[in-house]
A = this chain, B = another copy of it.
Amino acid sequence: MRRKVTLKQIAKELDVSISTVSKSLRDSPEISEDTRLKVQAFAKLYNYKPNNIALSLKNKKTKTIGIIIPEIVHHFFATVISGIEQVANECGYNVIVCLSDESFDKEVINMEMLANGSTDGFIMSLSKETQQKKDFHHLQEVINQGMPVVLFDRISNDILCDKVIIDDQLAAYEATNFLISKGLKKIALLTTVDYVSVGKLRTDGYLNVLHDHGIEVDESLIIRIEDTEHCDEKINELLENKSVDAILAVNELFAVTAIKLAMSKGIKIPEDLSVVAFTDGIISKYSTPTITTISQNGIKMGRKAAEMLIKRLELEDEEDEHYKTEIIETNLIIRESTKS
């Protein structure tokens, strides 16, 4: 077993100083060509590679980005990571991933863990619990220490930092508008509880468009689903007791569940019921019928977030304090679940 070789060992072996070895390997003009080549040859032979930890300590830069997200077994979040990783890779950064599991405490612990030197900055999406508690001291702490943070998707206006989101409200507005344009009027909304920021915004968009079209809002058509546990139950109730001709769902899962339940009741899609969902994930593409969705380009979101973070990291000198919020455009991907 050949352990990794260090500068010190090379220096000893060649009977020169550590400085000389270091300089030789960095092609310093201070060193004569003779020794430089000798050292380089030796280093190559022993496959010398500088130790990242030592470099991090010296440079006070880890070249590592901390990602904290609620969960990873989730198509959207996976695509975001993928996007982040692409950019990180291009720029010589690594990513270290932590999962909050939708728990406030875990989010805090992970953050404190990584903030103690492990990463140069953070890219994160808030856990449900954090959004509910509205307690962002851990983020503030980190930001105060001068570490850049970029929030995506599940953000909060109470935190001053860079952000990247889609225009949830506008997207919901447009999607609902699309349904209305097809002559549909009784449009139900399957959404989350209001403390989830994106759920709230999407609900607002839905409400606005109804208002703008002079359609009266029927509160009983708005189903707020807390956990996926009672998802079936609540949707069943809707389908049985109300006559709806369209559904806007804030995620794929709600949509596909609604479609399945509807079909089992003999309701034809899209003839009797049109369905549009947020998040253009794997389910929408492969379910039967395929589902019309609002694309939420995770890759692009991840890439943008990474670009913003790295830009801050490399420009560290004078902190702009001029935080930006980037909006990733969405578009409606029309598939089989909506009337044409």
Taking a contact as CB atoms closer than 8 A, the residue among B71, B118, B144, B260 that contacts A82 in the complex is B71
Min CB distance, A82 to chain B, in Å?
A: 5
**Identical subunits present:** 2
Min CB distance, A89 to chain B, in Å?
A: 8
B-contacting residues, A241-295, CB 8 Å: 253, 256, 260, 263, 282-283, 286-288
B97 with A81: CB separation less than 8 A:
yes
Min CB distance, A107 to chain B, in Å?
A: 12
Most buried by B among A51, A52, A89: A52
B-contacting residues, A61-83, CB 8 Å: 62, 64, 71-75, 78-79, 81-82
A118 with B85: CB separation less than 8 A:
no
Q: Is A95 an interface residue (CB 8 A)?
A: yes
Stretch in A109-117, A217-225, A226-234 with 4+ CB within 8 Å of B = A109-117
A117 with B3: CB separation less than 8 A:
no
B56 with A144: CB separation less than 8 A:
no
Q: Is A26 an interface residue (CB 8 A)?
A: no
A50 with B82: CB separation less than 8 A:
no
Min CB distance, A221 to chain B, in Å?
A: 24
B52 with A117: CB separation less than 8 A:
yes
Q: Given that A52-B117, A53-B117 are contacting pairs, would A260 and B283 also be in contact in the complex, using a CB cutoff of 8 Å?
A: no
Taking a contact as CB atoms closer than 8 A, the residue among B1, B47, B116, B263 that contacts A52 in the complex is B116
B51 with A117: CB separation less than 8 A:
yes
B53 with A57: CB separation less than 8 A:
yes
Q: List, in ascending order, chain B residues with CB within 8 A of A144's CB.
A: 1-2
Q: Given that A82-B72, A145-B2 are contacting pairs, would A118 and B94 also be in contact in the complex, using a CB cutoff of 8 Å?
A: yes
**What are 15 of the A-B contact pairs (CB < 8 Å)?**
A1-B144, A2-B145, A50-B116, A53-B53, A53-B56, A53-B57, A57-B57, A73-B82, A82-B99, A94-B114, A95-B96, A95-B98, A260-B286, A282-B283, A287-B287
